[in-house]
Amino acid sequence: MKKSIGLMLMISFVFVIYLENTSLFSTEKWSGSEVEIAEGIAVNSVPVTQARRLNGSEIGTLAPEFSLKTLSGKSVYLSDYKGEKVLINFWAAWCAPCTKELPALEAFNKASSGVEVISINIDPEDRPKEFAEKAGISFPVLLDADDKVNTEYGVISIPTTVLIDEEGFIINKHIGALDEEGFHVFVQ
């Protein structure tokens, strides 16, 4: 009985991760005739042209705006990065895959140009400043003290990484740890 419950939970978890990594909307550009055809088609009762402009946490939607404090207390807004490609990494110091991933993210940040890196710590009570200093992190570490931002971005597990394009749309999302090469592939 316990084995079957465990198996069911594992299958459910894999299914949720699959759903989280698929998208209802394609991010590829459409030609003029395809746009005209699509304008008459509804996706969940919203025309395709409007659906691409909705706020949300799914690929193809406009990234939710936020304002969070850095480790030094400075307020940072997502809109501060308007016109730039932004990689957001959600993590916590108690998360073993997160602590292994952050040095790779730091190496990616130093090697990469054209992508702004922001990390959002979802548990500010658990020594994020101490960990960030020890790991030598140079990118901004923001504190999501009330879980508002990770909820808005649909973070169901950490680490989670989200890529936002220059126009503010979510173009990629990954649940789980990445190595430096994985970050380079993720942003392409």
Instruction: Please give the radius of gyration of the chain, using alpha carbons only, rounded to the nearest integer.
Output: 18
Residues 178, 104: Cα–Cα separation, whole Å? 8
For the question of residue 98 being annotated catalytic, the response is yes
Residue linked to tokens 């069911």:
8
Count of helices and strands (H, E) across the chain: 7, 9
Q: Catalogue the long-range contacts made by 65-71 (C-beta closer than 8 Å, 24 or more residues apart).
A: 66/148, 66/149, 66/152, 68/120, 68/142, 68/143, 68/144, 68/149, 69/142, 69/143, 69/145, 70/140, 70/141, 70/142, 70/143, 71/128, 71/129, 71/132, 71/141, 71/143
- Name the residue type at position 7: L
User: Given 98, 102, 105, 137, which residue is catalytic?
Assistant: 98
Length of the chain: 188
Active site residues: 98
